[in-house]
Structure 1
Amino acid sequence: MNIEKLNFDIHKILTLLPHRYPFLMVDRVLELEPHKSIKALKNVTVNEPFFTGHFPQRPVMPGVMILEALAQTAALLTFSEEEQDFENTLYYFVGIDGARFKRVVEPGDQLILNVTFERYMRGIWKFKAVAEVEGSVACEAELMCTVKKMDAAQ
């Protein structure tokens, strides 16, 4: 698959992922090497709904939201693997191993999401995922996901 043909701007991302505001965590795909890796970004703004409660005096992006951004990026890599019926496909997060948080993510940061394909076995995709801000690791983890076809009735 040719990278230029993919054009993973927000419009393409919206066709591939079922997530919408306030849960869409990927703004753009910067690089994509099908079957290998993806690099995407999330612009973190003070307008994110989770900042009102986490924390009102000093907003910090919750770690679970960073992991969600990485999982959505992994989904985009999976969808680049083959031609699929995206409208009838759901991507499920099934596991996290070795998650570590190394830096606080605050409003104004640009979260760079790097995901590398590790292996596929018995319907489970495994990825190495790293989120960075200004070249510094904010979060790293191994993610496991699966892809399921939805029934037309759903």
Structure 2
Amino acid sequence: MVLIQPWTETDLDLLRRINTPAMKMHVGGPETESALLVRHGRYLNFPREGKGCMFSIRLRATGDPVGSVGYAERTWQGEAVFEMGWNVLTEFQGRGIAGKAAAAAAAHAAGTGRLRWLHAFPSVDNTASNAVCRRVGFELAGECAFEFPPGRFMRSNDWRLDLPAFASPIE
């Protein structure tokens, strides 16, 4: 159904397509063009810095981009962890794409052998993303105040996945 490919220069257009009021309603709304360019540069640098990896989600049959998924290192409650996030374009939502892509990216993170925990912090109001966490096998650690984007705190669920023990439940 889908595959994930490392982020490239050409994925800037995908990032712009994701940057809509509907797609960004749970994270404070769309970003400015300059903020998108900074984000794009950060995504391109993740592998070089060894701090994570961002991917485009593509339809296996056509190669068309339909979203993004990735993980990056951060400090959470005093511990180095990976944080994961994803976006699936509106017209492709509801097909299981986010779950398959998140499971593939989690397997990639697990394969690094670097960190034990992978966290996701969807808004408590984002039913779809919370369902993806459950489907991929994350455990709910509890509710928290999470800063995203910088300067904006939101009520989130803190989901975590034990990477050394991860075996994808999604084929």
State the TM-score, normalizing by the size of structure 2. Answer: 0.30
Structure with higher RCO (Cα < 8 A, 6+ apart): 1
More helix by share: 2
Say which structure is richer in strand: 1
